[in-house]
Amino acid sequence: MRPLKIFLASLGFRRSVLGVTPPLGIMYIAAYLRQKLNVEIRIVNQKISNMPNDELVKQAKEFGADVVGLSMLTTNAYSLPYITSNLKVALPDALIVIGGPHVSALGAKSLEDNLADVAVPYEGELAFEALINAYLGGGDMADVPGIFRRTEDGVVTNPGIIPFVEDVDSFPFPAYDLIDLKAYWKVNAMTLLTHMKYVSLFSSRGCPFKCVYCHRIFGDKFRMHSAQRVVEEMKFCVKKYGVDNFEFVDDIFNHDKKRLFEICELIGKLGPKVGLSFPNGLRVDELSESSINALTDAGMYYCSCPLESGSPRIQKLIGKNLNIRKYLENVEYIASKRIFTYGFVMMGFPTETEEDLKQTMEISCMSRLHAASFYTLTPFPNTKIYDIALKNNPAKLRNINYNDNEYSHIKFNLADVPDEMLFYYQRKANRDFYMNPYRIARILRDLPQTQRLPLFIPEYLKRLSKGIFG
């Protein structure tokens, strides 16, 4: 019996300096399906080459796909109607499945404007396996729990949900062999650096915190790979592909303190020196000097430090409840190690006042952060912040356009201040932050590897011009 041909694609175009990383979600699914079923799989990441939609459809047809899986963010979902309608023409008998954060956010609505057959929310491995088994068994998917499917009577939501896997160590390594890893070394990673022999890693899934702007794609329970499993994957990538840099893209890498120290200790025994970056998942106020020292000794050179808001009132509203004093202390200590620190700041929260905006700007500018992005909040469906916005000002939500916007480009205001005031403080924050001569000197001194400087300068100038011209 010939293997079932599955074509998995991550959708989206690269439109700015923001990084492109390997599509770990579909790489995990591919590895798991190969372990469980008789399948042949091809992976395509539309962003890595800015592949046109027609080329993506052409490659799926040339592959002879029986099943096409499309993963996307909500900002990339605008292309679904075109892609799915053309796939139906090119591969009329193929099963078209959509998934990723967009489906987890919109649920059954994710099937309304396109011709996909099935939508799979949340964690994909077990759900996709059940879906394929149903497909091979004759196509009746009514018993696959938690999926959304198209029927003659419309879109149906199957009852139940496939549970999250507790033992994430049971999953195989992502299917690195199905991507051109070297292609990712030629473009910006999430750290805004490039020409590094790197891979991205999930060392855990899920987050126990209740931030109202976040989705619960991996659930609200912290499920971690063991320290041994994390370093085994790193060792595999070093030996197999010559990797010497690792990006940890967990929601919250440092939630388990004991594991953090175990990972750092094992990395020290890895052999060759490697670099570690955390562009996403460190809860900075939960770090200690000893954990920062351990991460530094293990090779950390880049650390994202999400602040979101400098207002204690807004911190409480959004459920992050960051200890701002501890945050500032730890950022200063990390920066003292000459580790490049990058802050994420959001403005435009519901009920946000001018005083809240001032606090956020002042905290950001007084911090020892090397760099920061000052975003305006975008409330995505199926988040608590969306529900708050819907209650406070439903008219504003009707004007949201999610189509392929980077976070920094969406100008949207849910705050209790006029648009002009919100964007004034966004511009002023960029200007005051980046025109600090001391900060400029520290950027020049501490940006990892001086040959990367030409890559950061355009980003710096963009932030500065945003502060001056808006």
**What is the tens place of the pLDDT at every residue in 206-224?**
998 989 998 878 888 999 9
What's the rounded mean pLDDT across residues 236-255? 95
**What is the tens place of the pLDDT at every residue in 371-401?**
999 999 988 888 899 888 888 878 878 777 7
pLDDT value of position 408? 56
What's the rounded mean pLDDT across residues 191-210? 85
From 252-256, 376-380, 445-449, 453-457, the region with the lowest mean pLDDT: 453-457
Residue count of the chain: 470
Binning the chain into helix, strand and coil, the percentages to the nearest 5 are 45, 15, 40
- Number of Cβ within 10 Å of residue 112's Cβ equals 11
pLDDT value of position 394? 84
pLDDT value of position 457? 63
The whole-model pTM stands at 0.92
Regarding predicted confidence, which is higher, 123 or 468? 123
Read off the pLDDT band of 17 (50, 70, 90).
Answer: very low
Distances (CA, A) of 154 to 150, 279, 364: 6, 41, 49
b/e per residue 53-92 (b: at least 16 CB within 10 A): beebbeebbebebbbbbbbbbbbbbbbbeebbebbbebbe
What domains, with CATH codes, occur in the chain?
4-157 (3.40.50.280), 188-469 (3.80.30.20)
Q: Is the pLDDT of residue 433 over 60?
A: yes
Beta strand 245-248 with 275-278: parallel, antiparallel or unpaired?
Answer: parallel
